[in-house]
Chains A and B, each alone.
Chain A
Amino acid sequence: MRKGVLRRLSVFVLMVFVLGIVVGCGGGDQKTGDGDKINVGLNVELSGGVASYGTNCRDGAMLAIEEINAAGGVLGKQLNPIVRDCKSLADEAMSVSAALVDEGIVAQIGPLTSSNVQGSTPVLMDNGIPLIAPAATAPNVTVDEKTGETLKYIFRVCFIDPFQGTLMAEFAADNLGAKTAAIYKDASTDYGKGLAEYFKKTFEAKGGTIVAEEGFVKDDRDFKAALTRIRSKNPDFIYVPGYYQEVAPLIKQARELGITAPMGGGDGWDSPDMVSVATAPNLNNTYFTNHYSSQDTDPKIVAFVEAYKAKYNKEPDAFAALGYDAVQLLVQAIKDANSTDPVKIAEALANIKDFEGITGKMTIDEQHNPVKAGVIIEFKDGKQVMNTRIQP
């Protein structure tokens, strides 16, 4: 019988031990905001499909936080970044956001892609904490599609997808003097479809005509049939909204078919692979819209690029710049609100006017989208050269 008692006792001790661990875990993260610190959550993709976006954005945001803290912080308090990885998954983004809320953050920066932002949206809406999305470009991120109402706590610092179409149409009509244009879009993504739609609208409003509309889908490799049809229409400009995987071979094949018309696209073109696949001579006379250019000669941008290069030894891409701007925008809002109360910060964010960011001067509109400039980047002998900045 003694053996039985001993066994029961050991099981009991084990159970108490396990219970202790569970309770201990629960009690651990009851952190109330320290008096002299402002907790800022960075919920970004550090692993998974779009890890490079998240990593660069984090680097940009951390640079901004360091600069602000070195200059004495905000309202006399230091910013305390809490970085978490959402694994490029929407459900994980939600869980991470909930954990960050427990840590007592005043605002969350990130995630990068639209669907991951939408994953963490309900948590921040329920808790009344503002989210600043650096690069979520889908229109329905800040607006509830069913009711048409703006989501009170969701903001972004990037322009929305359709705006790139508008921008390129203005550039093609005004700067390149195009009268006719052909559209060859990525029909398998909302990105391609949205850009094409707004390009068409604006180009036609400017008095131009769309002479041909063709589509390709993801992973297509042969574009010659559609390109031949476009060639027969002889357009002044060809708009190719899509991602570089398809666009690079497309441009190569277009030039091989003898199409010399200028071509344009969106930020999906922004990749080193463009030059290696399409080759430098073929890329001459092509343009794309982007959030910013690291070659901009604006002193603010030059200072940012130098500081970023000194710290990380790499060129800052658009995600790094947008991450930097997201933090700066938050700081501006905290100053405007003169408070670290999340609700007041959200109100201040909604009223931001003429904020000077790296990616342009922005004013937050009633749908929480920034009204801001975009840049046109041109490929010149395989190099990305900033062509012009267009203010809407």
Chain B
Amino acid sequence: MQETKHKLIRFCGEVLVLVALFTVIQYLITAGMLDMYYQINLTSMCINIILAVSLNLINGFTGQLSLGHAGFMAVGAYSSVIMTQFLGQPFAIGILAACAAAAVAGFIIGVPTLRLKGDYLAIATLAFGEIIRVVLMNIDYVNGPAGIVGIDKLTTWPLLYWSMIITILVVVNLINSSYGRAIVSVREDEVAAELMGINTTRYKVIAFVIGAMFAGLAGALYAHFFYIIKPETFNFLKSFDILVMVVLGGLGSTTGAIIAAIFITVLTAALQSFPAIRMILYALILIIVMIYRPQGLMGNKEFGRETLNRIWGGRR
């Protein structure tokens, strides 16, 4: 009984912290204390967190090097924009369509390519991302290379925040479930996992489809905040940006991915005042971090209750 009670209190406490964080920022926005600049960076931050956490599921936990995340983001962005701008549907339908389309794309690309390993898979996913981009460039319905301009701004802070929380919750709970243990076992040793009776392809595809789905969600949120999308926005450099966040945070650490996404967003914004040497400083900081923390900021550890308890000296 005592244990359940503690769990309940802890759960309520966590929900309270999440709601409080949301409310504080919502208040700051309504009160006009967070101007547009901060809102834009806050949006980038949330979108980057969703992208990094979902890619970390594929790259970090499942151990499959995917370089096509921007491709899934593009699928999500375009399908949501087609829904809301061309077909006049509400944004909720647009988001659902984005998730569904990206998940389907993830399934289609995942089933054949996840038989490949290591660099072969990386090249196959990279190629897939490029295919998406080139196909979009040649579809006149979505204006080809010029992209779609004047997308209504429908992405709001509550939507962003709770999308981010849902992404993190789904990924964390998936990893802590029996599915998650199977997924991690694929990363640790695929042959051994198979010997233990785990259908490795199935778990790889599951992780891939879920990762792609959240990339689609991020794409939908991105498109409805940044006014313009074009195929060039989702080129392979975008995929690398997300990969940098995952590696910087530590492969296989969700909190690491979150911290790195926040770090990269803040760093990009902070360096805006040094236009000439901006990219040099950015690269330099990344190199320094990787020299001193080659396993990433968090390694494969999580920053959670246990860490807090250890620091704060409370009960485990």
Using a CB–CB cutoff of 8 Å, the interface residues on chain A facing chain B are: 4, 7-8, 11, 25-26, 46-47, 83-85, 87, 89-92, 94-96, 98-99, 101-102, 114-115, 118-119, 121-123, 126-127, 138, 140, 144-146, 188-190
Tell me which residues from 41 to 75 in chain B have a Cβ below 8 Å from any Cβ of chain A: 41, 44
B146 & A95 in contact (Cβ 8 Å cutoff): no
Q: A95-B269, A140-B149, A190-B145 are in contact. Are A118 and B37 (CB under 8 A)?
A: no
B228 & A98 in contact (Cβ 8 Å cutoff): no
B36 & A119 in contact (Cβ 8 Å cutoff): no
A98 & B37 in contact (Cβ 8 Å cutoff): yes
Q: Of B144, B228, B273, B276, which contacts A190 at CB under 8 A?
A: B144
Q: Of B138, B226, B278, B312, which contacts A188 at CB under 8 A?
A: B138
Bound-state CA distance A127–B230 (Å) is 25
Bound-state CA distance A283–B178 (Å) is 69
Bound-state CA distance A229–B223 (Å) is 43
Q: A7-B311, A188-B138 are in contact. Are A94 and B227 (CB under 8 A)?
A: yes
A residues less than 8 Å from B144 (CB atoms): 188-190
Bound-state CA distance A8–B311 (Å) is 7
Bound-state CA distance A95–B269 (Å) is 8
Would you give the shortest CB distance from B284 to chain A, in whole angstroms?
14
B269 & A118 in contact (Cβ 8 Å cutoff): no
Q: Is B313 an interface residue (CB 8 A)?
A: yes
Would you give the shortest CB distance from A293 to chain B, in whole angstroms?
28
Would you give the shortest CB distance from B315 to chain A, in whole angstroms?
12
Would you give the shortest CB distance from A228 to chain B, in whole angstroms?
26
A residues less than 8 Å from B272 (CB atoms): 84-85, 95-96, 99
Tell me which residues from 261 to 280 in chain B have a Cβ below 8 Å from any Cβ of chain A: 268-270, 272-273, 275-276, 278-279
B residues less than 8 Å from A144 (CB atoms): 150
Query: Chain B 113-149 against A: per-residue CB contact (8 Å), 1 yes, 0 no?
Result: 0000000000000000000000001100001111101
A residues less than 8 Å from B40 (CB atoms): 94-95, 98, 123
Bound-state CA distance A114–B149 (Å) is 10
Would you give the shortest CB distance from A376 to chain B, in whole angstroms?
26
B residues less than 8 Å from A94 (CB atoms): 40, 226-227
| Residue of chain A at shortest CB distance from B238 | A89
Bound-state CA distance A126–B233 (Å) is 23
B228 & A102 in contact (Cβ 8 Å cutoff): no
Q: Is B3 an interface residue (CB 8 A)?
A: no
Q: A7-B311, A8-B312, A98-B37 are in contact. Are A188 and B137 (CB under 8 A)?
A: yes
B residues less than 8 Å from A114 (CB atoms): 146
| Contact sample, A vs B, 25 pairs, CB 8 Å cutoff | A11-B311, A47-B278, A47-B279, A84-B273, A87-B278, A90-B226, A90-B228, A90-B230, A94-B226, A94-B227, A95-B44, A95-B272, A99-B272, A101-B37, A102-B35, A102-B37, A115-B146, A115-B232, A118-B228, A119-B227, A127-B36, A140-B149, A189-B144, A189-B145, A190-B146
A91 & B226 in contact (Cβ 8 Å cutoff): yes
| Residue of chain A at shortest CB distance from B269 | A95
A-B contact number at CB 8 A: 96
Would you give the shortest CB distance from A273 to chain B, in whole angstroms?
21
Using a CB–CB cutoff of 8 Å, the interface residues on chain B facing chain A are: 35-41, 44, 137-138, 143-147, 149-150, 153, 222, 226-228, 230, 232-233, 268-270, 272-273, 275-276, 278-279, 311-313
Would you give the shortest CB distance from B142 to chain A, in whole angstroms?
12
Q: A98-B40, A122-B153, A146-B150 are in contact. Are A4 and B138 (CB under 8 A)?
A: no
Would you give the shortest CB distance from B192 to chain A, in whole angstroms?
41
| Residue of chain B at shortest CB distance from A119 | B228
| Residue of chain B at shortest CB distance from A22 | B266
| Residue of chain A at shortest CB distance from B143 | A190
A122 & B37 in contact (Cβ 8 Å cutoff): no
| Residue of chain A at shortest CB distance from B265 | A95
B residues less than 8 Å from A96 (CB atoms): 272
Report which residue of A85, A87, A114 has the largest number of chain B beta carbons within 10 angstroms of its beta carbon: A85
B311 & A121 in contact (Cβ 8 Å cutoff): no
Known: A95-B40, A95-B269. 14 other contacts (CB 8 A): A25-B270, A26-B38, A46-B278, A84-B273, A91-B233, A95-B37, A96-B272, A98-B36, A118-B149, A119-B226, A119-B227, A127-B36, A188-B138, A190-B144
Would you give the shortest CB distance from B92 to chain A, in whole angstroms?
22
Would you give the shortest CB distance from A29 to chain B, in whole angstroms?
8
Would you give the shortest CB distance from B188 to chain A, in whole angstroms?
34
Bound-state CA distance A123–B39 (Å) is 11
Bound-state CA distance A189–B232 (Å) is 13
B residues less than 8 Å from A189 (CB atoms): 144-145
Q: A11-B311, A46-B275, A99-B272 are in contact. Are A126 and B36 (CB under 8 A)?
A: yes
Bound-state CA distance A336–B88 (Å) is 43
Q: A47-B279, A118-B227, A144-B150 are in contact. Are A98 and B35 (CB under 8 A)?
A: yes
Q: A90-B226, A91-B226, A98-B35 are in contact. Are A85 and B275 (CB under 8 A)?
A: yes
Would you give the shortest CB distance from A328 to chain B, in whole angstroms?
22
Bound-state CA distance A377–B233 (Å) is 33
A84 & B145 in contact (Cβ 8 Å cutoff): no
B35 & A122 in contact (Cβ 8 Å cutoff): no
Would you give the shortest CB distance from B286 to chain A, in whole angstroms?
15
Bound-state CA distance A99–B39 (Å) is 11
| Residue of chain A at shortest CB distance from B270 | A25
| Residue of chain A at shortest CB distance from B313 | A4
Would you give the shortest CB distance from B135 to chain A, in whole angstroms?
13
B276 & A95 in contact (Cβ 8 Å cutoff): no
| Residue of chain B at shortest CB distance from A122 | B227
A residues less than 8 Å from B138 (CB atoms): 188
B147 & A115 in contact (Cβ 8 Å cutoff): yes
Bound-state CA distance A115–B311 (Å) is 48
Nearest 10 pairs of A and B residues by beta carbon: A85-B275, A98-B37, A4-B313, A98-B36, A118-B228, A91-B226, A190-B146, A47-B279, A95-B40, A122-B227
